Every structure is written in C-alpha cells, then in structure tokens.
Amino acid sequence: MREHDRLFIGGNWAAPAGTGVIEVVSPHTEEVIGRVPEGTEADVDAAVAAARRAFDHGPWPRMTPAERAAVLGRLSAIYAERQQEMADLVTAEMGSPILFSIFGQAALPQMVLQYYADLAASYPWEEERPGMLGPVTVTREPVGVVAAVYPWNVPQFTLMLKLAPALLAGCTVVAKPSPETPLDAYLLAEWVREAGVPDGVINFVPAGREVGAYLVAHRDVDKVAFTGSTAAGRQIGEVCGRQLKPVTLELGGKSAAIILEDADLATTIEGFKMASLMNNGEACAAQTRILAPRSRYDEVADALTAMVAGLNVGDPADYGTEIGPLVARRQQERVENYIRVGQDEGAKLLTGGLTRPHDRGWYVAPTVFGDVSNDMRIAREEIFGPVLALIPYDGEDDAVRIANDSDYGLGGSVWTADVDHGVEVARRIRTGSCGVNLYVLDPNTPFGGYKDSGLGRELGPEGLTAYLEHKAIPRPHPAS
C-alpha cells in the first residue's frame, strides 16, 4: 500500500489545498493499493506559480543546454538503476503485463530521457545566417511554463515524451497525472529530487479532467502538451486556439496492419502480439484493423484466431502473462460493449467474446472479429482493448484505400517478404508512422498523428523543437 498525503510542488512536499483523496485500485484484485491527494484548482495555482518563478527567476532556463543535459543525465542514471521498481508499480496501477511494463513503462521512458540528454550536444541551438542587410543570429529559446496532461495507459512514457524535451529546452513543467495512475509520478518525483533538478522546475498535480481543463487554460501556462482522447484533445485545442498558446496533441488511433500476399504468416502473426495487442490493446498506436488479402483470408483468419485464443490472460505481475486486466471496470464495460456492437453489426466472432476469463479483476477475453467491413463501428472507432477486426481486401490499392479510410492517422504496419516494396506501401499510408515487418517507437524519430490523431510531433529533434521559440537577431554588416 502506497499512501501519499502531499503534492510535489516547488521542489517540496506541499500540503494539498483540498481534502479530496484519489484511491488507486488494482485492476487485478479490485483492492485499493494506494492513496494520493486529489489536486484542486488552488493546487494548480500553486504549481503554476512555482513553475513560473522557476522560469522567470530561477537558474534552469539560464543554464546552458549542456548543463541541463548533465542534470537530465543524472536523472536518467537513477531511472536506469531503479526501473524495475517503476515497471512493478505501473503494472500494479493499471494492469500492464510485467514483461511489457519492463520495456514500455520503464526502459522506454528512461531511453527517451537519455536520448534528450544526449541530443543537447548536437542540436542546433543557435546559428548565424546571412540576411538582406547583414548577418542574422537565429536562436532558440525555451517557450516557458509547460502544462503536461497525460493518460493512464503508458503514464511514464507519455509524460517523458513531454518532460524530457521540455526540460532540455529550459522550460519548467506542471504535470497532471491521470487519477488512475498517480503513483508512478510520486516515484519519479523522488528521483527528480535526488538528481538535483532545481526547485519548481517539475511539479505534479494528480487530478481529474476538470482540474486538467483549469491547468490548460491557466494564463501563466505558455504551452500545453496533451496525450489522450480525441474528444478531450479537441476541447484543449479550442482553448489553446483562443489563447494563441502553442499546443501538441497526441490523440487516438485506429491503425491498420496490412498483410501483403507474400508475407510470411508465422512471423507476421507473432508480430501482432506486440503491434496489435501490446499493453492489453490499451495503446493508441495499436494496429487493431488487420487487413488480409482475400486470397489468403482463411489462412490468416485461422492463424490469427489460434494466436489470440492461445494468449495467456491473467495476473499482470506474472512473467508468463500476455494479456492482463483492463485499467478499470469502466474500460472493461466499454470494451465489452464494442464486442456487442460487433456482433450486432454482423461481424463474425472468431474467438473471445463476452465470457470473462476471470471472475475477479477487469479482464476481457482477447477477441477477433472476422468478415469485418471498414464501415462498421468496430473498424472505425477506437476500442482501446484486446479486440481485433479482420478485414479482407482485393489488391494492394484496395488495401491502401481501406487503411487510409479512417478518421485517424497515427500508426500502421506493412507485412511482406519484400521490405523495399513494404516501404513503398508504407509511404502511401496517411499516418505519422508506419512500420515494415514490425512496429516500434524510436526515441530518435518523430511520433504523432495525421487527421484526428493529433497535432505536432513528439520524440526526435522535432520533439525538442516543439518546446522552443525561434528568435531572429539581425544587425548591419560590420563596417569594413
């Protein structure tokens, strides 16, 4: 049991303004495993004031990138040493299978932190350009106080996509963890103190969406970075639009995996364990539309059904588990409702369905629907659970058309024996990323969405640029 009665604000453990408490419930046992204060608007005011002071008067934005990178490097070293603790904690909070958690909930966030620490040395912070009337210095300055609002599914990863580049840029941050997963932020806050990050540079206010909305609209916040649902992203985008505040939005997805005629089926289907079902299917970039050539449709249906039916569903802390419980009863009911929708729409249930694999815990049977047409709701709407839609296609152009026939544009993949040809197909998919024979998010390359999947990019040098203002300083040619 982890009990916290303070908030990490201004580098200290501050007493919360309110008396509300967030209870963190294990999705496996349905028992309370932790309590933290529920942040209020007054706590947001205090956190933003601390971040504002640290930005306007503190050392952080005035340090050189190399000096900030050294602090990030210290934090990264602590993270690397204690990442198992982080993986165990996120698994306990939200049910991520421990083997995925070790990678996606702990190692990957640490790699992102280290990536940005290393990027400081090669990033073009300042350059001289020839101008019309003389030389121009083009410099990049931190955008200011950042509000980072992030979801429960990969809390450390989605936070680190914002925190690491914001800090390297010289920004200060108020982060709002989701009420489902506030505990991992407390562990990170301990490490932030150990690493010697100056007071007020990072602040955490765990709270629900109303307090999140208050933070986003706060006049002393200069930039918003949000990961979450498309519905919330639209609201946040509207607020930032009115205030002309820069905003990065990483939103939902309904990505397609295209199996080409020549794909090796055994490795392809095995690859879907990660690409389509990672993190119990609670992944924005999960490829939940499986596009199969009609000529191989039966073969694909059989292999996919066998793989999904054979998945080990159980205690997420168990190293043999492939699918754990969903984050909350609400999410279990949402996913089950989509299974009902699929049946009502006439899709063919190939495996899974509404029988719960365990009586206790928020489990859903991993499910495959066959004979899905791309206009069904189960092919258009984000389900956010282990439910796959198998869609037949006729020819490669048809596959590309179906993949692109989506309101979303986040991820995707192409599976083929001819990698060069796979790359050509990937170029035709209107999404922010599309893998060939794998799907992976690389710290060094941009990640983000086309269409309703978002605005802007995280990761890579692009992810750092999002936290910088560009300033030009022109001057006359020196007198000769």
- By DSSP bridging, strand 247-250 and strand 408-409 are unpaired
The residue among 307 and 410 lying less far from ligand NAD, judged by its C-beta, is 410
CB contact set of 327 (below 8 Å; sequence gap of 6+): 27, 94, 95, 152, 153, 180, 181, 282, 362
Measured from the Cβ of residue 65, the count of other Cβ atoms closer than 10 Å reads 19
C-alpha 66/C-alpha 69 separation (Å) is: 5
The residue among 43 and 250 lying less far from ligand NAD, judged by its C-beta, is 250
Tokens matching residue 446: 């941009």
Q: How far is CA 424 from CA 172, 380, 416, in A?
A: 41, 25, 11
Q: What is the DSSP string of 403-451?
A: HH-SSEES--EEE-S-HHHHHHHHHTS-SS--EES-----TTS-B--EE
The residue among 285 and 303 lying less far from ligand NAD, judged by its C-beta, is 285
Asked if 373 and 364 count as a contact pair (C-beta separation under 8 A), the reply is no
C-alpha 149/C-alpha 226 separation (Å) is: 5
C-alpha 114/C-alpha 135 separation (Å) is: 35
Report in angstroms how near the CB of residue 35 gets to ligand NAD at its nearest: 18
Report in angstroms how near the CB of residue 473 gets to ligand NAD at its nearest: 35
The residue among 86 and 148 lying less far from ligand NAD, judged by its C-beta, is 148
Q: Which residues pair with 141 in a beta bridge?
A: 469
Report in angstroms how near the CB of residue 213 gets to ligand NAD at its nearest: 4
Q: How far is CA 18 from the centre of its chain?
A: 29
Report in angstroms how near the CB of residue 417 gets to ligand NAD at its nearest: 30
Report in angstroms how near the CB of residue 209 gets to ligand NAD at its nearest: 4
Of 188, 181, 140, 138, which is closest to residue 164 (Cα–Cα)?
188
Report in angstroms how near the CB of residue 138 gets to ligand NAD at its nearest: 30
Supply angle C-alpha 42, 48, 50, rounded to 5. 105
The residue among 253 and 325 lying less far from ligand NAD, judged by its C-beta, is 253
In the complex, which residues of this chain contact ligand NAD (CB under 6 A)? 149-154, 158, 176, 178, 208-209, 212-213, 216, 227-229, 232, 235-236, 250-253, 284, 382, 384, 410, 449, 454
Residues marked as catalytic: 250
Report in angstroms how near the CB of residue 174 gets to ligand NAD at its nearest: 12
Q: How far is CA 402 from CA 392, 395, 430, 436, 445, in A?
A: 10, 11, 11, 17, 26
The residue among 305 and 433 lying less far from ligand NAD, judged by its C-beta, is 433
The residue among 149 and 258 lying less far from ligand NAD, judged by its C-beta, is 149
Tokens matching residue 268: 């392809």
